[in-house]
Amino acid sequence: MSTEPQDADDDLKERVTNFLRRNFPQIQMHGGSAAIQHLDRESGEVSIALGGACSGCGISPMTIQAIKSRMVKEIPEINKVNADTGMGGGGMGDDGGMSPSFPGETTRDDEGDEGPQAPF
């Protein structure tokens, strides 16, 4: 268990979620999703997974850069943003699995291990 107060974690998570919802409504509008996978309040590092149609819409690379660039500026507690579509492009190791998807297609069905899902 962390020694950090749960309330502070929840508050920061909520601000990250709100930031995404407010500034990137397109993610949801285009059939995608954004979920906070991990948030380390101490180091200010957050990992976000774009899913659904985001995985193959062609806009996600730029959206990822936009999220990274803006979030560190607009949420002072956040120092580093890892964001990817689960294809291993974010620098963390993964199993290399790939499941291309296309705009309008939703392929997210095997999730649910941890972390709250952003409501969009």
Taking the complex as a whole, how short is the minimal distance between the CB of residue 66 and another protein, in angstroms?
Answer: 4
Instruction: Give the three-state DSSP class for 28.
Output: helix
- Of positions 31, 44, 90, 115, contacts another protein by CB under 8 A: 90
Give the helix/strand (H/E) hosting 63.
helix 60-74
Count, residues near another protein per rule CB under 8 A: 25
Q: Does 57 bind another protein (CB under 8 A)?
A: yes
DSSP 116: P
Strand order in the sheet with 45-52: 32-40, 45-52, 80-84
Distance CA 98, CA 76 (A): 34
Binding span for another protein by CB under 8 A among 9-17, 32-40, 84-92, 110-118: 84-92
Which residues within the stretch 6-35 sit at the binding site for another protein (CB under 8 A)?
A: 26
Contact positions toward another protein, by CB under 8 A? 26, 55-66, 69-70, 84-85, 87-90, 96-98, 100
